[in-house]
Chains A and B, each alone.
Chain A
């Protein structure tokens, strides 16, 4: 009966909803400009500056947020925010944001920023939102592993030592990438993390089975 098929697929009614240049995500370049990263693995192009004076930025599959000294920028506009950089944690179109200078937390949802009363001790390295949980990586928790950057991923963690990037999956399997001097790791897009090392910005593809480290054009001396 199943083979007789309760489903009908229109043979001629397919529609192609458009061809676009693929977007990989966004980065903050060495000059503090927010720039799109386009292309595919191994072939990247940086778009023009979309905003300047950007201190932090992060992208999920659904949207990107950027932090200037006093604003949160999104595709729909900007809202006032505590001063200084920000640490973003994503779940779909919702983000939890930590502002290190004021040590304040806020939730980003429906294009609004809502502070919430939360306190943590120590340096917040990364935030990850699960379906019903918030995971926060603190410097004290990671002191035994690294004194460098840490980024929590949906099913793992990416962190930098002095000589390497280590991508650790759930189950503690690890992939290591030779890279000295990594200073910061941020979520660049759904499948990539941006790693700043001096003036160079690298892109690590984190999609399982496709892990590879690339150098992004420009920004390196």
Chain B
């Protein structure tokens, strides 16, 4: 009769009371009965279960006691007292750990202003096998216990040697012995179930075989204990990319073609970035913004190569066009985002050159002769000019050569624009008299590399 009474008090918490106790399995609530079995625990390990109090009533419940009274048991919960509102829940962690093999129990009690709950938690401590991890892998006790495989190159398996020892005085049966997780596998060892004699050791090998770069996790489950397996993989270094250009000497104001290839086939699919940078010879400007890859107008393009291939695609194309700008200096191509077997950095030198004229025009206005020149000066030293007007027979018209020096104006212009050395300049010469006999003008435009001479006919 007494026994029946106790069971009646303990059993139907969830059905009758405002507060109910649940064991959480993920997000699933499992009603807790009169006993809560925490299962087998290896000596020295900690097992934890998430316990939920749910208030199914219409009034707030004030929790005044929430305890797990028993050797080895503890509970992580809010400080007492704490309320659980109508329809609300409060989770806590019930923990157990002990060193000596035995059956342990504790009274799990919840006392509140509306009703009280009680159940018996039970855990069994057993002697578990002892795992030894050998270099190059490393082990840690956790929690959770873990085995680190370190960094491995893709396509090259890394093996981890392990010993499993039975520390007890009795033969031990191993029923759970499995490896899970992509890239991890049991390379050698017995199939469960198997036995380990008292004090004996069993060797086995776990392999880590990643086929792509990245971080990997897995699990090694041995009886009551699960070891987290960690490993990282990296791609093998790419053979040094060869950066090649279309033929012809490099000058300013060119659109040129870059191709990339490997001397030997790529060991794995690989990708990265090809970058360019420009360092001008002059100190008047710090860059030339026209030196870009034309596909995007930027200085970085992605590249990729397939496993087994030597052909690198740049931005999805077999080649990439770029501009050389209008400044003498050095264009530096680099690779980033991938390790390579050697430095592929390539530097192109853009030499200083005579002032280059793209378009020149000479026109007459009443009282003026106008000359317009469009071009670039990749030395940033232009300014000295000589104009000689010519008659229809090619003879110089007095006063002959007319000198002009626009050096300061050009320096100010280049410093201000910072867009390379392109320029459009107009020069007007006041005239009196009949200009119809003036047929052309000869211009000598000087910069640090020499003098450019051109003759322009009046329109």
Contacts and interface: CB of A to CB of B under 8 A. Distances in A.
B109 interface: no
Interface residues of A, number: 40
Nearest to A218: B297
A120 interface: no
Interface string B413-441: 10001011011111111111111011000
B376 interface: yes
Given A43-B376, A221-B316, A19 B397 contact: no
Contacts of B298: 218
Nearest to A15: B428
A161 interface: no
A19 B321 contact: no
A63 B410 CA distance: 27
Nearest to A215: B294
A40 B409 CA distance: 20
Interface residues of B, number: 58
Contacts of A39: 290, 326, 420, 422
Interface stretch (A6-14, A84-92, A98-106): A6-14
Interface string A28-62: 00000000001111111110000000000000000
B296 interface: yes
A23 to B, nearest CB: 8
A108 interface: no
A7 B437 contact: yes
A220 interface: yes
Interface stretch (B25-33, B183-191, B227-235, B247-255): B247-255
Contacts of A9: 369, 389, 397-399, 402, 429-431
A12 B176 CA distance: 102
B391 interface: yes
A191 B435 CA distance: 28
B358 interface: yes
A18 interface: yes
Contact of B359 (A6, A46, A191): A191
A133 interface: no
A2 interface: yes
B10 interface: no
A199 B108 CA distance: 70
A173 interface: no
Contact of B255 (A17, A18, A42): A42
Nearest to A200: B295
| Most B Cβ at <10 Å: residue of A16, A18, A40, A191 | A40
B374 interface: yes
Given A8-B433, A40-B253, A40-B374, A216 B294 contact: yes
A21 interface: yes
Given A16-B404, A220-B295, A45 B290 contact: yes
B376 A217 contact: no
Contact of A7 (B296, B395, B434): B434
A109 B373 CA distance: 29
A18 B426 contact: yes
Interface string B372-412: 00111000000000010101000101110010101001100
A12 B290 CA distance: 36
B44 interface: no
B410 A41 contact: no
Given A9-B369, A11-B402, A39-B422, A22 B358 contact: yes
A10 B433 contact: no
Given A5-B433, A9-B429, A38 B297 contact: no
A213 to B, nearest CB: 9
A131 interface: no
Given A38-B419, A217-B297, A13 B429 contact: yes
A14 B443 CA distance: 14
A202 to B, nearest CB: 10
Given A7-B437, A21-B417, A220-B296, A14 B374 contact: no
Contact of B409 (A13, A19, A217): A19
B315 interface: yes
A117 interface: no
A20 B389 CA distance: 24
B423 A20 contact: yes
B323 A44 contact: yes
B294 A217 contact: yes
Interface in B236-273: 252-255
A22 B423 contact: yes
B424 A19 contact: yes
A220 B298 CA distance: 11
Nearest to B413: A19
B325 interface: yes
A14 B403 CA distance: 10
B404 A43 contact: no
A32 B404 CA distance: 44
A14 B359 contact: no
Given A22-B374, A221-B315, A41 B253 contact: yes
A43 B292 CA distance: 10
Nearest to B316: A221
B289 interface: yes
A111 to B, nearest CB: 24
A39 to B, nearest CB: 5
A215 B290 CA distance: 13
A-B interface, 9 closest residue pairs, ranked by CB to CB distance from nearest: A218-B297, A217-B297, A7-B433, A22-B424, A40-B358, A42-B253, A43-B253, A19-B413, A220-B295
17 contacts: A11-B399, A16-B404, A17-B426, A19-B410, A19-B413, A19-B424, A20-B425, A22-B422, A22-B424, A40-B376, A42-B253, A43-B420, A44-B290, A46-B297, A200-B295, A215-B294, A217-B292
Given A13-B429, A38-B422, A214-B255, 8 more contacts: A2-B391, A3-B395, A8-B432, A13-B430, A20-B425, A23-B424, A42-B324, A43-B252
Interface of B: 252-255, 289-290, 292, 294-298, 315-316, 321, 323-326, 356, 358-359, 369, 374-376, 387, 389, 391, 395, 397-399, 402, 404, 406, 409-410, 413, 417, 419-420, 422-435, 437-438
